[in-house]
Every structure is written in C-alpha cells, then in structure tokens.
Amino acid sequence: MEQHTMDIIVAGTWFAILIYAVIANILLAILIVSSTETRTLTSYWIVGSFSLSEVGMAMTALFHVVPFVLLHEAFSKNESTSDFLMLSGYHSFWAVSLMHLVLMALNRLAIRYTFSCR
C-alpha cells in the first residue's frame, strides 16, 4: 500500500472513533439533563461533567489529529504553534477527565463507607 492510502485509512479510523465519542457523550449529557430519574442518582453531575470534558477532548483531537495525519508534511514544515496549542488543549481535557474519574471513585467510596459526625 502506498503512504497516501494508509494515511486516509488512519484518518478515517480516527474520524469514525472521534465522531462516535462526540455523539455518545452529547447523548449522555442530553439524557442527564432531560431525565428526572437520571438526576436522582448520586453522581449524575460528575458523569455529566465527565461526558462534557470527553466531548472537548474528542473535538480537540478531531480538529488536530485528522488534519495532521492527512497533511503531516505541511504541519512538519510549517513549525507553527498549532501543535503546541492543540496538544496543550488535549492534555488539559485529559487531565480534567482524569480528575473526574478520581472524583467518581471517591464518591463511590464515600457512599460505600459512610461515617457519621458526632
């Protein structure tokens, strides 16, 4: 296979995965907002916030990874700050998502091992 064909396959795969992530997380956020039954759950705000940070991370990757794979020669010759900015944004969303996972774990521990203040 030639390089251009492989680039299109890789970019298409990334595009499909990222579009799925964006749509699934937006639907999850809509479910949380529209369903009163979902909002009675203990950690709905953490899950909703987590899904929105995942949307941000997927959108950042969508606007950076797919063009970079298809136009990698132009990006490497340009030496622009777009790589730094996009990767910084992606890592920021990743750190926020990781913080949400830690908060969900702590929330589960607090529910499992409750204590009373005297």
Q: Please report the pLDDT score of residue 17 as a whole number.
A: 92
**pLDDT at residue 78 greater than cutoff 70:** no
Segment 22-51 shows an average pLDDT of 82
All residues at 6 or more sequence positions from 66 whose CB lies less than 8 Å from its CB, including other chains = 11, 14, 15, 18
User: pLDDT tier at 44 (50, 70, 90 boundaries)?
Assistant: confident
Cα distance between residue 82 and residue 68, in whole Å? 10
pLDDT of residue 5: 87
- pLDDT of 11-36, one tens digit each? 899 899 999 999 999 998 888 888 88
The structure's pTM equals: 0.70
